[in-house]
């Protein structure tokens, strides 16, 4: 039986989605479970398909992170930390393997209406329907994009907030946090 690395994957999409929402009082086990699913599932997926792609000198690996991985928030800290890890992994991997013919895409969606987000009681600006999210991801992959981010208004707001000094950013996040 062939190993999975010998199967000719051309463009696998790797993702995990588990969110420990309340940051205060979240047990270590919930933080570890979130990191295991959201980050290590991507690591294991890459390990399964990358050797074959490198051998063939072609392929694209895509992984789903989140706009939440750009900066920490007061809500869902384990989730945002795990998605930040995915972003850094994928961006670093892109630099390592691009010269060998393997492309890397990181998908950073905002809030997408799913059973996971249905549990949230906080406001989710620019909520995107799942079919719209899927269309945006497919279009980005077809265009060979290194990063797929949506929705644009939320993505630009979060990216601009990344330029703020840490203390100002923290003050704004405390003000926006659910009470």
Total residues found in the chain within this entry = 179
Ordered structural domains, the chain, with CATH? 8-176 (3.40.50.720)
Exactly one of 79, 83, 128, 137 is catalytic; name it. Answer: 79
**Cα dihedral sign, 135-8-53-48:** positive
pLDDT tens for residues 135-171?
Answer: 999 999 999 999 999 999 999 999 999 899 999 999 9
Q: For residue 94, what pLDDT is reported?
A: 98
CA of residue 42 relative to chain centroid, distance = 10
Say if residues 151 and 113 touch (Cβ distance below 8 Å). Answer: no
Active site residue 44: no
Identify the band that residue 89 occupies on the pLDDT scale cut at 50, 70 and 90. very high
The whole-number average pLDDT for the span 31-54 is 92
Tell me, what DSSP letter sits at residue 62?
A: E
């Amino acid at each position: 039986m062939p190993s999975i690395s010998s199967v000719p994957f051309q463009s696998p999409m790797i993702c995990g989605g588990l969110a420990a929402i309340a940051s205060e009082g979240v047990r270590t086990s919930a933080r570890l479970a979130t990191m295991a699913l959201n980050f290590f599932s991507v690591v294991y997926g890459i390990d399964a398909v990358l050797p074959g792609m490198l051998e063939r000198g072609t392929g694209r690996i895509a992984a789903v992170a989140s706009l939440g991985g750009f900066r920490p928030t007061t809500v869902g800290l384990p989730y945002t930390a795990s998605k930040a890890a995915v972003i850094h992994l994928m961006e670093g991997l892109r630099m390592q393997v691009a010269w060998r013919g393997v492309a890397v895409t990181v998908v950073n969606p905002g809030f997408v209406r799913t059973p996971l987000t249905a549990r949230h009681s906080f406001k989710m600006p620019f909520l995107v329907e799942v079919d719209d999210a899927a269309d945006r991801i497919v279009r980005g992959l077809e265009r060979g994009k290194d990063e797929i981010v949506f929705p644009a208004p939320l993505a630009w707001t979060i990216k601009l907030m990344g330029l703020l000094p840490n203390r100002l950013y923290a003050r704004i996040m405390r003000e926006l946090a659910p009470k």
